[in-house]
Amino acid sequence: MTKRMFIMLGGIVLLVVVLGLGFFMHIRTLMAAAPKPQAQVVSTMIAKKSSWQPQLESVGTLSAVHGVDVSSEVAGQVRSVNFQSGQDVKAGDVLVQLNADADIAQQHALEAAAELAAITLKRDQAQLAVQGVSQAQVDNDAADLKSKKAQVAQQAALVAKKTIRAPFAGRVGISSVNPGQYLNAGDKIVTLQQIDPIHIDFNLPQSQLAAVSVGQKVVIKTDGTADKTFNGSVNAINPKIDTNTRNVQVQALIANPGRRLLPGMFASASLDTGKQQAYLTLPQTAITYNAYGSTVFVVVAAGKEASAAAGSLVAKQVFVQTGPTRGDQVAILSGVKEGDQVVTSGQVKLKNGIAVAINNSVQPANNPNPTPQEQ
């Protein structure tokens, strides 16, 4: 009986061993037949240093060196308009002539009265020499002559005001008047702007005031002139800080030979400060920002990581300290060294140790001075 029990137990053990071995071989076969993990396709670039010129950047508004809405000091009817809308004019050019016939006639009458006063004074002076009149009479005649001449000058000034001239050289805008129209004193005739050169006014924080000085080079660009830049220099710094914003206003004079810059335009300004510096730079798309810090993925040779079976390269996530930005680029102060192969796109599907495959046929923007693209 005991012998039978041992034989039965031995058979059961043997059966369990055979079944367990068979199950193990089946699992091993399934694991061997399972598809290997696919390498994630990414684009990369080699981190390298580039020379950066430290800059201060701001946005501002363009304004004319001289700009005015031309108007009349006196009322009158427009006799002629002597300019075309959009025309360039010189200082002193006649823009509008008002009807001054009555004023000129009045001037001639006053001139005749002044001439008579001069003759009277001369005659009385001759009479005074022979005691024919008193000194008081001659003095009255002299005063009367001065008064008449002053009236002539006053009337001549009134006549001159009927001829409206350009106060300075520049470009006129669109005319607001027509021949035959009656103008009241102060009515706008046309805008006149001197736009070559042109001013840009912008603000900088008070903390950057020490880096700005009169004569400093300024480069500006606007959306309205595509990728063209314009050069100039700082010509004035406001001696007062705005107590609300703690900013200082800076004005620069910009050369505008093609007159493509117009008053009222929005523009961005860059000021070079200090010496050039070398920074390790990456495209901004390579950086992943989160609450724990900024990270990048670096491509390294595969070690013994299980997930590296599909390839010889794996991704390694590292923390980095970022610095200033310039266009599409960002400076890396620590975490990556020169020569490291850094993932620039496709990192959203990566994790530490995952196999990667590199395809650099398409690269993200990496321009230090990008320009807007027309859609």
* DSSP sequence for 81-132: E---TT-EE-TT-EEEEE--HHHHHHHHHHHHHHHHHHHHHHHHHHHHHTTS
Confidence of residue 110 (pLDDT cuts 50, 70, 90): very high
- Contact in structure between 261 and 218 (CB atoms under 8 Å): no
Do 80 and 149 lie in one domain? The reply is yes
Q: Is 28 within the bounds of a domain?
A: no
- Share of the chain residues as helix, strand and coil, in percent rounded to the nearest 5: 30, 40, 30
Backbone conformation region of residue 227, classed left if phi is above 0, alpha if psi is from -120 to 50, else beta: alpha
Do 209 and 223 lie in one domain? The reply is yes
Do 259 and 235 lie in one domain? The reply is yes
User: Which domain-ending residue is among 185, 214, 232?
Assistant: 185
Q: Supply the range of the domain harboring residue 236.
A: 57-64+194-272
Does position 36 have pLDDT exceeding 60, yes or no?
no
**C-alpha to C-alpha distance for 65 and 237, rounded to whole angstroms:** 16
- Contact in structure between 248 and 58 (CB atoms under 8 Å): no
Tokens of 8: 């039965």
Q: Is 102 within the bounds of a domain?
A: yes
Does position 95 have pLDDT exceeding 70, yes or no?
yes
Domain count across the chain = 3
Do 307 and 218 lie in one domain? The reply is no
CATH number of the domain enclosing 218: 2.40.30.170
What's the average model confidence in pLDDT over 17-35?
63
Do 289 and 302 lie in one domain? The reply is yes
Q: Is 127 within the bounds of a domain?
A: yes
User: Which domain-ending residue is among 159, 185, 211?
Assistant: 185
Task: List the one residue out of 149, 86, 78, 84 whose CA is nearest residue 112.
Answer: 149
Do 234 and 284 lie in one domain? The reply is no
**C-alpha to C-alpha distance for 237 and 203, rounded to whole angstroms:** 10
CATH number of the domain enclosing 48: 2.40.420.20
Q: Is 12 within the bounds of a domain?
A: no
Which pLDDT tens digit goes with each residue over 298-348?
A: 999 876 554 445 458 888 999 999 988 887 889 899 999 999 999 998 888
- Contact in structure between 90 and 196 (CB atoms under 8 Å): no
Per-residue pLDDT at 27: 67
Do 47 and 124 lie in one domain? The reply is no
Q: Is 266 within the bounds of a domain?
A: yes
Does position 28 have pLDDT exceeding 90, yes or no?
no
Of 83-92, 171-180, 225-234, 330-339, the one with minimum mean pLDDT is 225-234
Residues paired with residue 370 on neighbouring β-strands, in sequence order: none
Which pLDDT tens digit goes with each residue over 132-165?
A: 788 899 899 899 999 999 999 999 999 999 999 9
First CA to last CA across the chain, in angstroms?
A: 95
Do 152 and 231 lie in one domain? The reply is no
Q: Is 19 within the bounds of a domain?
A: no
**C-alpha to C-alpha distance for 137 and 117, rounded to whole angstroms:** 12
Do 84 and 180 lie in one domain? The reply is yes
Tokens of 234: 């700082």
Tokens of 138: 């001659």
Residue-by-residue DSSP string for 5-71: HHHHHHHHHHHHHHHHHHHHHHHHHHHHHSPPPPPEEEEEEE-EEEEE--EEEEEEEEEEEEEEEEE
Do 216 and 288 lie in one domain? The reply is no
Do 211 and 146 lie in one domain? The reply is no
**C-alpha to C-alpha distance for 375 and 373, rounded to whole angstroms:** 6
Other Cβ atoms within 10 Å of 351 Cβ, number: 11
Does position 35 have pLDDT exceeding 60, yes or no?
no
Q: Is 22 within the bounds of a domain?
A: no
Do 99 and 172 lie in one domain? The reply is yes
Q: Is 241 within the bounds of a domain?
A: yes
- Contact in structure between 308 and 314 (CB atoms under 8 Å): yes
SS3 at position 199: strand
Of 6-15, 220-229, 262-271, the one with minimum mean pLDDT is 6-15
SS3 at position 316: strand
User: Which domain-ending residue is among 257, 272, 287?
Assistant: 272
